[in-house]
Amino acid sequence: MTYTPGNTKIGFIGLGIMGAPMARNLLKAGYDVTAHTLETEKVEEFVKDGGKGAASVAEAAKDADVVITMVPASPHVEAVVLHEGGVLDNLRTGGTLIDMSSITPQTSIEVAKAAKAKGIKALDAPVSGGEAGAIEAVLSIMVGGEQETFDAAKPILEALGKTIVLCGPAGSGQTVKAANQLIVAVNIEAVAEAVVFLKKSGVDLKAALDVLNGGLAGSTVLTRKKDSILAGDYKPGFKIDLHHKDMGIVTDAARAVGAAVPAGALVAQLVAALRAQGDGGLDHSALVRGVKRLSGENPDGAN
């Protein structure tokens, strides 16, 4: 069976910064979506947009063909999927669980084993692209699981992203996502250091970032973040708090396989420091604020 619009009921758990636009894109694609999240007002907004609301995880899962979870971290996935009354207790035998949260590879492996024991198929399918990518349905989706399950679920994933790749068995999606977060964090830190260096050197910062982004130094990070950095606007598309969690996953997973990640370890400490300074709720591009502090500047000063 392939999960196409018109023949698929989806239960969606988690309507946060990423989850809300993703659930709406599934509605736009023609899927029957029932959503649940802890904030009842977000469920009400989703219903106003044409979706269905559920008062609990169990209610969202019980009549679904597919359940998608998009929650902050491993403990949240364990709570909504594995615990009594969760997804695996309510999703029908033969159904599919797609966890799109960013969690540890080991948690994804445990979820896949528990799902298999109940006759439920599972994919770990974390995403990259931030809030803008979620809104525009152009996310990169890295998937772990079985080929047959991936093939059946691909139409659903195509409603959410543009680059969709099966990376290997259960847990592989999360391992690739950890590598993604390593690259993104180091990239943002390099941009942050360049921004402060350029500004202190008296260069026209906007002009400098435009020309840098046209050459080998260009990146999706610069394309997505340079205007907000110039404006000093750190409204979260992806919070420092969440990147702090992800850098813990990176360093732990790398240690487990004996891989050295020296730059990642340093940036993990800089992310942790920024969080300790009270900036955990800001966008991860707020690493600029940390570099400003290290350079003796007021982080709230003009860029």
What are the catalytic residues?
Answer: 177
Strand locations in the chain (E): 9-13, 32-36, 52-53, 66-69, 96-99, 121-124, 127-128, 139-144, 161-168
Q: Report the sign of the C-alpha dihedral through residues 191, 196, 200, 204, in that order.
A: positive
Cβ-Cβ contacts under 8 Å for 203 (sequence gap 6 or more): none
3-state DSSP of 8-72 = CEEEEECCCCCHHHHHHHHHHCCCEEEEECCCHHHHHHHHHCCCEECCCHHHHHHCCCEEEECCC
Neighbours of 158 (CB within 10 A): 13
